[in-house]
Amino acid sequence: MNPAISFPKLTLVELRKMVDTRAGFWLQLIVAILTLAIVILVCIFGETSDFVFRDMFALAILPASILLPVIGILLVSSEWSQRTALITFTLVPKRMRVMSAKVAAGIVLGVAVLVIALVVAVVAVAAVGGAWTMGAAVFGQICLLVVTGMLQGVAFGAAFMNSATAIVLYFVLPFVFTALAAIPAVEDIGKWVNLIETTGPLTEPGMTGTEWAQLGVSLLVWLALPLAVGLYRIVKGEIRAA
């Protein structure tokens, strides 16, 4: 380990990697544009019932919840697709330290996007004179939705170590499981592993204990498992020069 590189500095380096690449830059720009566009369109054409702070915040964070995981995928997988892994792990030989910094960078970016979306929602509701209705529980749930989505992207990037494969599977697999969950024989199982279904209640108040348990199980399947597989592959795998 290079003692000159502290963990905060290493995390900052990983944050810069999210912006320095063209894909990362354009993805974040698209997220910003879509966030503003959705909120502005709702303010112009929406009904009075739409001008609720909770709903406005959920709308403002929608583009990020979809696209930020792709940035998380690229943060990890690009080390192999762009042949930079050897340089990275030569500068910082402890691979788990690098991966911890990537996870931390993903959380920091997720929190930053949440703050921006919150500001946009506040300005929008103030501009249209909407209702300031949003409980602390719902706010925390939406934050959890964004952060876990970002970490899921990091997990998929680590598990597959290939950008195209990880991105395609990240978007396709949940819909495949949604389709399978419609089969009566596996419907009950689908309620526990279908991430699309288990994350749905996070934007609404009053999540039950069962819904929290279903969310936890689905995150074990879609976040913890691929992250564990990815970390094992990265720590134990051989890194070849380009």
Q: Tell me: the pLDDT tens digits for 28-72?
A: 899 999 999 999 998 888 877 778 898 899 899 999 989 999 999
In a domain, 195, yes or no: yes
Smallest Cα–Cα separation from 113: which of 60, 73, 76, 151?
60
- Give the chain's domain count: 1
In a domain, 168, yes or no: yes
With cut-offs at 50, 70 and 90, classify the pLDDT of residue 1: very low
- Higher model confidence: residue 39 or residue 240? 39
- Residue whose entry in the numeric block shows the structure tokens 């389709």: 179
In a domain, 2, yes or no: no
Range of the domain at 30: 7-236
In a domain, 66, yes or no: yes
Percent of the residues in the chain that have a pLDDT greater than 90, as a whole number: 49
pTM: 0.88
With cut-offs at 50, 70 and 90, classify the pLDDT of residue 240: low
Alpha helices of 134-224 — where are they, by DSSP H? Answer: 136-160, 163-181, 187-193, 195-199, 209-219
Question: Which residues are bridge partners to 131 per DSSP?
Answer: 52
In a domain, 159, yes or no: yes
In a domain, 241, yes or no: no
Average pLDDT for 203-207: 85
In a domain, 242, yes or no: no
- Higher model confidence: residue 22 or residue 209? 209
In a domain, 178, yes or no: yes
